[in-house]
Amino acid sequence: MEHKLTAPYETWRAQLVDSRHGTARILLRVRRIAVIGIKPEHVGGPAFDVPARLQRAGYTIVPVPVYYPLITSILGEPVHRSLATIDGPIDMVVLFRRSADVPGHLDEILAARPSVVWMQSGIRHDAVAETLARAGLQVVQDRCAKVELEHMPTL
């Protein structure tokens, strides 16, 4: 009886990725990344620099800025105002949003069905992470994709 109680817990908990090895496996697998909260180059900062670095590494970046309504492209890619307007599958969603704003994106993320949701450094929402993990998505919290990319171990 005890095994039945712990199996579901262990199953969804396994979707929470919190190791360099786990993030490396994700970065080796994904190719198309939607970035919610991306910022344009003239604003700069991590919400531009991290996606730019990922793009230079060969990933396709799909910009989904929250602000900047007049911007039509970032990193040479057309801007989308929600995940629902993106044609084709998304492998990973990267969030550059305050932790308190993360729940506002839950429904659109679940509808888009990426295999991974990555909350950048300083961004964490355990309840949303659990919901996503229970839905079968891998979740990374409070880690910088650029740092993880630059420190990928050999697998």
Residue 145 is part of a domain; what is its CATH number? 3.40.50.720
Domain-located, residue 93: yes
Structural domain that includes position 33:
2-150
Is position 53 within any domain?
yes
Using CA atoms in the order 88, 123, 101, 17, what is the torsion angle rounded to 10 degrees? 50
CB 119 within 8 A of CB 142: yes
> Could you report the per-residue pLDDT of 15-56, keeping only the tens digit for each?
999 999 999 999 999 999 999 999 999 999 999 999 999 999
Q: Read off the pTM.
A: 0.91
**Number of compact structural domains in the chain:** 1
Among positive and negative, which fits the CA dihedral 35, 128, 114, 85?
Answer: negative
Establish if 155 belongs to a structural domain: no
pLDDT-based confidence at residue 152 (cuts at 50, 70, 90):
confident
